[in-house]
């Protein structure tokens, strides 16, 4: 007895029957998965898309201003200029005049106390004698003669100076 009464001319892809079991199980597994995502969207979201995209395109198609100098050249020039400004500002700040008023007094105290001003009385006299004119401008008009005499009398030990340099009655 023959197994097949009639034979059709249909054919199947290669490995069709070998893989059918695998594919059926896969289908079963797939069926267990959720069919929807649960994602929501804002109300009327899709109605807002066209105008927003049209607006962005309109903004992008605005005529652009072309630079006369290319960005690269501009960057080089700007870099060189920035370097020059930096160098000049450093040189200038390193040669800035410093006067005694701009130095903090406590800083001077610290400098001397640290032993950096190591000069004795003789050196100081030498410094003073280097000046051609040593002007000690003391405003004496505000002081009376008697006040000056009183001060010198009380502060100068040597009577010789008083007697010889001041006209005492």
Partner 1 sequence: MTEEKELLAALRDPDQKDEAFGRLVSQYKERLYWQIRNMVLDHDDADDILQNTFIKIYRNIASFKGESKLHTWMYRIAANESITFLNQKAKRKNISFENVKMEAAKNLEADVYFEGDALQLHFQKAIATLPERQQLIFTMKYFSEHTFEELSKILDTSVGGLKSSYHIAVKKITAYIEANDIE
- Rule CB under 8 A: is residue 52 a binding residue for partner 1? yes
Non-local CB neighbours of 156 within 8 Å, separated by 6+ positions: 162
Query: Residue 166 in contact with residue 149, Cβ under 8 Å?
Result: yes
Q: Is the dihedral of CA 96, 101, 102, 104 positive or negative?
A: positive
Task: Say how far apart CA 22 and CA 33 lie, in whole Å.
Answer: 17
Which of 14, 38, 63, 159 binds partner 1 (CB under 8 A)? It is 38
- Rule CB under 8 A: is residue 56 a binding residue for partner 1? yes
* Closer CB to partner 1, 51 or 115, in the complex: 51
* Closer CB to partner 1, 38 or 63, in the complex: 38
Q: Is the dihedral of CA 125, 126, 130, 132 positive or negative?
A: positive
* Closer CB to partner 1, 29 or 119, in the complex: 29
Give the side-chain half-sphere CA count within 13 A for 28. 6
Task: Say how far apart CA 158 and CA 140 lie, in whole Å.
Answer: 22
Minimum distance from residue 65 beta carbon to partner 1 (Å): 20
Neighbours of 149 (CB within 10 A): 14
* Closer CB to partner 1, 36 or 129, in the complex: 36
- Rule CB under 8 A: is residue 17 a binding residue for partner 1? no
* Closer CB to partner 1, 55 or 140, in the complex: 55
Which of 4, 5, 21, 32 binds partner 1 (CB under 8 A)? It is 32
- Rule CB under 8 A: is residue 49 a binding residue for partner 1? yes
Minimum distance from residue 35 beta carbon to partner 1 (Å): 9
Task: Say how far apart CA 168 and CA 145 lie, in whole Å.
Answer: 10
Binding site for partner 1 (CB under 8 A): 22, 26, 29-30, 32-34, 36-42, 45-46, 49-50, 52-54, 56-57, 60
């Amino acid at each position: 007895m023959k197994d097949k009464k009639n034979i059709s001319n249909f054919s199947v892809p290669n490995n069709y029957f070998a893989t059918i079991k695998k594919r059926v199980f896969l289908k079963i597994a797939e069926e267990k998965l959720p069919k929807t995502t649960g994602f929501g969207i804002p109300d009327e979201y899709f109605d807002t898309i066209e105008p927003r995209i049209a607006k962005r395109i309109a903004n992008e198609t605005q005529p652009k201003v072309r630079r006369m100098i290319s960005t690269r050249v501009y960057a080089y020039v700007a870099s060189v200029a920035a370097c020059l400004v930096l160098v000049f500002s450093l040189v200038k700040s390193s040669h800035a005049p410093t006067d005694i008023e701009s130095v903090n007094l406590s800083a001077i105290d610290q400098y001397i106390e640290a032993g950096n001003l190591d000069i004795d009385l003789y050196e100081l006299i030498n410094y003073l004698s280097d000046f051609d004119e040593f002007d000690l401008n003391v405003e004496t008009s505000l002081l009376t003669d008697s006040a000056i005499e009183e001060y010198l009398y009380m502060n100068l030990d040597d009577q010789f100076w008083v007697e010889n340099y001041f006209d005492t009655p």
